[in-house]
């Protein structure tokens, strides 16, 4: 039984001598077994480090005072020994391996070693066993992709490009320390929901794959807070889910070369977004909430934007308003709390996408819709030209909750263009 982790050996006698015992943890290999050629000897715990590959041995049977496992889910634990009076502080260990190792230590302490424990020979460690854990791995060809070996659990940056992957390897999804994952230039069609369990993931590159959708479940996962960069360019995505705007930590978003017909209606909620590119898609217009963005760089080149015409409205106004419309408007306007425990789920979704009139009032399914021109410099410091004519204007959807609001807008529009 072996375990690779970081170990700090603390003597509990030092404070009584007025000395500080806190040092630095070192990469180590822990082995549980018997000394070579001593079949009847007791079980020992050997700690090998780069400075002492021969290892220090500690008797285990009836010598473990306590196991501290409160933070075992974080790969941390402490083994307190009676003699010598030391604490073995373990950290940065694989959680599953750590739990298995601690169970073996507990059994060895109790003397239950008759064919139950997977003991290891207590021999000096190899350099590879105690070297600094690997945090970065780059694979750019299929022949270099590991088929039988597992990925180092300590990886924080993993790139597997040009490997013809049709799905995300389950071994990758178990790398809990990943901060940057680059799966570009593959054949991935779907993203597993367990991708959202990578709680520390900050950058996700899915450029040039075969994706047709981005799961709403991922947007509601732990990626909400951690994800800062998302590259979905060169895929086959036609629409992003409503939940996409829950990725509030996004700073950079790349959506170029897809088949997007629209952007999320609540995209303005991405308050940290600074770089947005959605060039060469099929966007006819931008959502009204686009006005709330505050970007440094924006690229919408090559989209078939419609020519705005405020004089040709799309009238969906129902007079008199239905009871559902009145209740929905009141709920949104007065910020009345609601949820699936109070309302049917489809009504909750409708309320989440409620439109906002220029007067500030909400409207659900009864409205007047037009497109108006917006200069993109209002939302971005640097704007890539929208077309080959040098334009930086784009059509934005605009909603009105009543004929009165639309008439007021129309009067101002005609006066300014008269």
Kindly tell me the sign of the dihedral angle through the C-alpha atoms of 33, 37, 40, 44. Answer: negative
Per-residue pLDDT, 180: 97
**pLDDT of 323-335, one tens digit each?**
999 999 999 999 9
- Whole-number Cα distances in Å, 400 to 12, 192, 348, 361: 73, 40, 22, 9
Give the DSSP per-residue string, 124-182. PPPHHHHSPPP-EEEE-SGGGS-SSSPPPTT-SEEEE-SS--SS--TTGGG-TT-SEEE
Copy the structure tokens of residue 330.
Answer: 């009141």
Q: Is the confidence at residue 114, as pLDDT, over 60? A: no
* Element spanning 415, H or E: helix 403-416
**pLDDT of 21-52, one tens digit each?**
566 888 888 888 887 766 666 888 888 888 88
**Residue-averaged pLDDT of the chain:** 90
| Residue 71 burial class via C-beta count within 10 angstroms: exposed 0-12, middle 13-18, buried 19 and up | exposed
Per-residue pLDDT, 3: 87
Strand partners, 398: 370
**pLDDT greater at residue 399 or residue 61:** 399
Q: CA-to-CA distance for 323 and 347, rounded, in angstroms?
A: 13
How remote is the C-alpha of 172 from its chain's centroid?
13
Which of these, 289, 214, 210, lies nearest to 253 by C-alpha position? 214
Q: Is the confidence at residue 115, as pLDDT, over 70? A: no
Contacts of 414 (CB under 8 A, 6+ apart): none
Crossing angle for the helix pair 345-352 and 323-333, nearest 10 degrees? 60
Per-residue pLDDT, 21: 56
Strand partners, 276: 253, 298
**Looking at 138-152, 182-196, 221-235, 246-260, which range is the least confident one?**
138-152
Q: What is the pTM of this model?
A: 0.72
**Looking at 122-136, 194-208, 332-346, 358-372, which range is the least confident one?**
122-136
């Amino acid at each position: 039984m072996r375990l690779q982790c970081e170990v700090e050996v603390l003597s509990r006698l030092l404070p009584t001598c007025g000395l500080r015992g806190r040092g630095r943890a070192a990469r180590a290999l822990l082995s549980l077994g018997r000394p070579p050629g001593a079949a009847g000897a007791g079980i020992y715990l050997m700690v090998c480090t780069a400075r002492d590959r021969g290892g220090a041995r500690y008797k285990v049977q009836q010598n473990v005072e306590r196991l501290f496992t409160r933070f075992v889910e974080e790969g941390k634990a402490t083994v307190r020994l009676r003699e010598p009076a030391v604490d073995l502080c373990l950290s940065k260990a694989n959680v599953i391996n750590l739990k298995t190792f601690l169970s073996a230590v507990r059994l060895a302490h109790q003397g239950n070693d008759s064919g139950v424990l997977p003991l290891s020979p207590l021999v000096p460690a190899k350099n590879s066993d105690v070297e600094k854990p690997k945090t970065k791995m780059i694979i750019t060809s299929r022949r270099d992709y590991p088929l039988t070996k597992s990925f180092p659990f300590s990886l924080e940056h993993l790139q597997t490009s040009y490997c013809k992957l049709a799905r995300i390897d389950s071994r990758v999804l178990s790398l809990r320390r990943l901060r940057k994952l680059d799966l570009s230039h593959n054949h991935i069609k779907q993203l597993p929901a367990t991708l959202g369990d990578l709680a520390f993931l900050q950058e996700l590159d899915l450029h040039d794959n075969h994706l047709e959708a981005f799961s709403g479940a991922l947007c509601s996962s732990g990626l909400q807070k951690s994800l800062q960069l998302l590259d979905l360019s060169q895929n086959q995505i036609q629409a992003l889910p409503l939940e996409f705007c829950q990725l509030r930590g996004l700073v950079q978003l790349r959506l170029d070369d897809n088949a997007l017909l629209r952007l999320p209606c609540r995209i303005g909620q991405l308050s940290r977004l600074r770089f947005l590119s959605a060039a060469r898609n099929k966007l006819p217009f931008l959502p009204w909430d686009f006005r709330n963005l505050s970007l440094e760089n924006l690229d919408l080149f090559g989209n078939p934007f419609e020519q705005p015409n405020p004089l040709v409205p799309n009238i969906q106004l129902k007079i008199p308003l239905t009871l559902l419309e009145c209740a929905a408007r009141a709920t949104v306007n007065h910020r009345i709390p609601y949820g699936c425990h109070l309302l049917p789920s489809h009504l909750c979704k409708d309320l989440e996408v409620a439109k906002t009139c220029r007067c500030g009032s909400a409207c659900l399914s009864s409205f007047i819709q037009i497109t108006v021109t917006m200069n993109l410099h209002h939302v971005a410091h640097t704007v890539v030209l929208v077309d080959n004519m040098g334009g930086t204007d784009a059509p934005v959807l605009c909603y009105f909750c009543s004929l009165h609001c639309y008439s007021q807008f129309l009067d101002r529009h005609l006066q300014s263009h008269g």
